[in-house]
A and B are shown apart, each in its own frame.
Chain A
Amino acid sequence: MIEDDRNGTGAATTAVAEPQLQRVRSPLRGLVRFRRGMKRYPWLPVLIVVGLLIVPAIFADFLTPHDPLRGVLGDRLRPPFWLEGGSSEYPLGTDKLGRDMLTRLMYGARISLVVGTITVFVGAVIGSTLGMLAGYLGGVVDKVVTWLIDTFLSLPIVLLALVIVAAIGPSFITIIAIISATIWAIFARVVRGETLSIREKDYVARAKVAGVGSFRIIVRYVLPNLANTLIVLATLQVGVVILGEASLSFIGAGIPRPNPSWGVMVADGRDNVLTQWWLTLFPGMAILLVVMSLNLMGDWLRDFLDPKLRQQV
């Protein structure tokens, strides 16, 4: 009896459920498609980064006839070419001073790239050196470095930047120094953790037994085994730094005007956002696309370099 019942209801539910299942459209469909696309074209983010950031940054001088700093006042606030009043001379329009938006975006890419790479490089060198020393040597060194990491990560970076800029004025060096001051701590923390686990590996123990000294172990055993993590982390951090630089520039504590930083451009255009939307939209899009692509590229590198690292960074 009971069994019959069960079979009956079971059959009924499946009979009802089946056609429904086919009709249901997952709200995550787009995401699934995106992930599938990422699997098929994993180099796409790399292409976007190269196309949007690296190529314009390097070749800006050859790619555009306009000057990024000096505009033609007669051509001020021209809309993009597809709108009425736009011209192909200024494909993405001009700003309040008649400077070509596309030109400024390209030179802005140069600023983002330079600030991003220098800051990450400085941060990675300082951070991984301290992180490895702390992780490997332990003891007092570890205590001091951990304390420094905690301190620097708890600094209110925006306030700090405002104070420093108010005191000594905005410049490339200041912004690089300010962002490096937080970035190194992130590197140090990740590297310290990795070092703690590498230190316990059998190949390190074997090296010690063979009479290899601490310095050599750090250079030949710890650092090379950290390389994957460092590459992934650095890629992700370039995105973070570009975003940070744009934010600081937006509030006026970053790249000094009239340099065409993307953050500055967004800030300059925000009064006109309802009428001349292209002044904010294009630099904003540039920041979004580049940072997102860098993050995707970091994720891709992580999988590409070592599947074991998936959970770690």
Chain B
Amino acid sequence: MTRSDLPSENGGRHGGDVVLQVIDLRMYLHTRWGVTKAVDGVTFDLHAGETLGIVGESGCGKSMLALSLVRLTPEPASRFEGGQVLLDGDDLVALTDKKMRRIRGKKISMILQDPQQSLNPVFTIGNQLEEAIRIHGGADSKEETKQRAKAALQEVHVPEPERRLKNYPHEMSGGMKQRVVGAMAMVYKPTVLIADEPTTALDVTIQAQYLRLLRDLQRRTGVAMIVISHDFGVIAETCDRVAVMYAGKFVEQGPVADVFDNPSHPYTKGLLDSHPRYVGTARRLRSIEGAPPELTNLPPGCRFSPRCGLAGPECHESEPEPRQVSADHVTWCFKSEELPWASH
């Protein structure tokens, strides 16, 4: 019996309201070498208090998706070709730059790959926290700004916040800096927090600590999180739902436990097989044959078909429509009914 036969473990946790709605988002990069379809028709809902993981190989468009949500895609190459990102009644794709700037850091926040490098080396922590607080007019007086900076540090469990505020980034340990960056991202209690590869640049011991910090922040503020990673371990540990991305598109989406136990797309299966499991019998790791397609030159039909062992004629001809696997579990695969490893 697999875990997917049981009611989903995390099923109860994303009962919150939809806070972020992404509808058929398309963001293309117009480069000298052609048009790169970095984000090509992505649709998902994000509920208050839940964590959505986005997983995929390097270059599949997951970081571009994250940057698209905050509209910080590389200029002048990037262009939004369609779709909507709805947050609190605003369509972020259509907002003016000025209005978008007021939303960044306030309603939607982001933590970058390497929190260690995310602090300006020439100013003190206090100075930078106060900037983050002032930027959207969060406090009326200097005194209040200082108080809030101190409170922000306390919230992420930085000991002796009074003294720490006067430190420069190079005077702090890596773990401390992460907390400060976390505190800065959460100053305005944003509705959505995006963490782009939150652990890639960190060593294993700090990784766990950092993930715990993120979960802790979420539990206390109810922020909806999007965690982007190529590491299934990180996704499994932090997320309620997961979306698997391939060549600018989602290929499978569902509750973490369902997707892990019952992968309904050959690509998901391939990713899982290439990741070591730490329980059960040891097995050989398998790699997925071939390389991801160039996003400027996509194959016809299903984008995974050239690398897929199960692909039939229809896979090479037309793009698959979403198919329901179970209540909340969707896959974009023609063969989802006849997968050899499936348990149903």
Q: Do A and B bind each other?
A: yes
Q: How far is the CB of B173 from chain A (nearest CB, A)?
A: 17
- Contact present for A210 and B109 (CB under 8 Å): yes
- Contact present for A139 and B121 (CB under 8 Å): no
Q: What's the Cα separation between A47 and B118 when bound, in Å?
A: 40
Q: What's the Cα separation between A220 and B135 when bound, in Å?
A: 13
Assess whether A51 is interfacial by the CB under 8 Å rule.
Answer: no
Q: What's the Cα separation between A213 and B121 when bound, in Å?
A: 19
Q: What's the Cα separation between A169 and B122 when bound, in Å?
A: 46
A211 contacts which chain B residues (CB < 8 A)?
A: 101-106, 135-136
Q: What's the Cα separation between A209 and B106 when bound, in Å?
A: 10
With beta carbons under 8 angstroms apart, the residue of B75, B104, B113, B118 that contacts A203 is B118
Q: How many residues of A contact B (CB 8 A)?
A: 19
Of B110, B117, B120, B136, most buried by chain A (CB within 10 Å of CB) is B120
Majority SS at the chain B contact face:
loop
Assess whether B46 is interfacial by the CB under 8 Å rule.
Answer: no
Assess whether B333 is interfacial by the CB under 8 Å rule.
Answer: no
- Contact present for A210 and B135 (CB under 8 Å): yes
With beta carbons under 8 angstroms apart, the residue of B110, B121, B123 that contacts A209 is B110
What band does the interface of chain B fall in when counting residues whose beta carbon is under 8 Å from A? Answer: 20 to 34
- Contact present for A203 and B117 (CB under 8 Å): yes
Q: What's the Cα separation between A202 and B106 when bound, in Å?
A: 19
The proximity string for B residues 73-96 relative to A, scoring 1 for CB distances below 8 Å and 0 otherwise, is: 001100000000000000000000
Assess whether A55 is interfacial by the CB under 8 Å rule.
Answer: no
Assess whether A143 is interfacial by the CB under 8 Å rule.
Answer: no
Known pairs A206-B181, A211-B101; A225 contacts B120 (CB<8 A): yes
Assess whether A224 is interfacial by the CB under 8 Å rule.
Answer: yes
- Contact present for A138 and B75 (CB under 8 Å): yes
A206 contacts which chain B residues (CB < 8 A)?
A: 112, 118-119, 181, 184
A205 contacts which chain B residues (CB < 8 A)?
A: 72, 112, 118
Q: What's the Cα separation between A94 and B76 when bound, in Å?
A: 66
With beta carbons under 8 angstroms apart, the residue of A138, A139, A203, A212 that contacts B135 is A212
- Contact present for B119 and A203 (CB under 8 Å): yes
B109 contacts which chain A residues (CB < 8 A)?
A: 209-210
Assess whether B132 is interfacial by the CB under 8 Å rule.
Answer: yes
Q: How far is the CB of B311 from chain A (nearest CB, A)?
A: 39
Q: Of residues 158 to 189 in B, which have CB atoms within 8 Å of A's CB atoms? A: 181, 184-185
- Contact present for B122 and A224 (CB under 8 Å): yes
Q: What's the Cα separation between A224 and B132 when bound, in Å?
A: 18
Assess whether B261 is interfacial by the CB under 8 Å rule.
Answer: no
Q: Of residues 104 to 157 in B, which have CB atoms within 8 Å of A's CB atoms? A: 104-106, 109-110, 112-114, 117-123, 131-132, 135-136
Q: How far is the CB of A301 from chain B (nearest CB, A)?
A: 17
Assess whether A201 is interfacial by the CB under 8 Å rule.
Answer: yes
Known pairs A138-B75, A202-B113; A212 contacts B118 (CB<8 A): no
Assess whether A221 is interfacial by the CB under 8 Å rule.
Answer: yes
- Contact present for B110 and A221 (CB under 8 Å): no
B104 contacts which chain A residues (CB < 8 A)?
A: 208-211
Q: What's the Cα separation between A210 and B188 when bound, in Å?
A: 10
Q: How far is the CB of A89 from chain B (nearest CB, A)?
A: 54
Q: Of residues 209 to 267 in A, which have CB atoms within 8 Å of B's CB atoms? A: 209-213, 220-221, 224-225, 227
Q: How far is the CB of A165 from chain B (nearest CB, A)?
A: 43
Q: What's the Cα separation between A287 and B106 when bound, in Å?
A: 58
A207 contacts which chain B residues (CB < 8 A)?
A: 120
- Contact present for A209 and B122 (CB under 8 Å): no
B114 contacts which chain A residues (CB < 8 A)?
A: 202
B123 contacts which chain A residues (CB < 8 A)?
A: 220, 224
B121 contacts which chain A residues (CB < 8 A)?
A: 203, 225
Q: What's the Cα separation between A205 and B181 when bound, in Å?
A: 12
Q: What's the Cα separation between A209 and B76 when bound, in Å?
A: 18
Q: What's the Cα separation between A209 and B102 when bound, in Å?
A: 10
Q: How far is the CB of B270 from chain A (nearest CB, A)?
A: 32
A210 and chain B: residue at smallest CB distance: B105
A208 contacts which chain B residues (CB < 8 A)?
A: 72, 104
A209 and chain B: residue at smallest CB distance: B110
Of A202, A206, A221, A225, most buried by chain B (CB within 10 Å of CB) is A206
The proximity string for A residues 127-145 relative to B, scoring 1 for CB distances below 8 Å and 0 otherwise, is: 0000000000011000000
Assess whether B234 is interfacial by the CB under 8 Å rule.
Answer: no
B136 and chain A: residue at smallest CB distance: A211
Contact surface of A with B, Cβ cutoff 8 Å = 138-139, 201-203, 205-213, 220-221, 224-225, 227
22 contacts between A and B (CB under 8 A): A138-B75, A139-B76, A202-B114, A202-B117, A203-B117, A203-B118, A203-B119, A205-B118, A206-B184, A207-B120, A209-B70, A209-B110, A210-B104, A210-B109, A210-B135, A211-B102, A211-B103, A211-B105, A212-B135, A220-B120, A221-B120, A227-B122
| Apart from A139-B75, A203-B119: 7 A-B pairs, beta carbons within 8 A | A138-B75, A203-B118, A206-B181, A208-B72, A209-B105, A210-B185, A211-B136
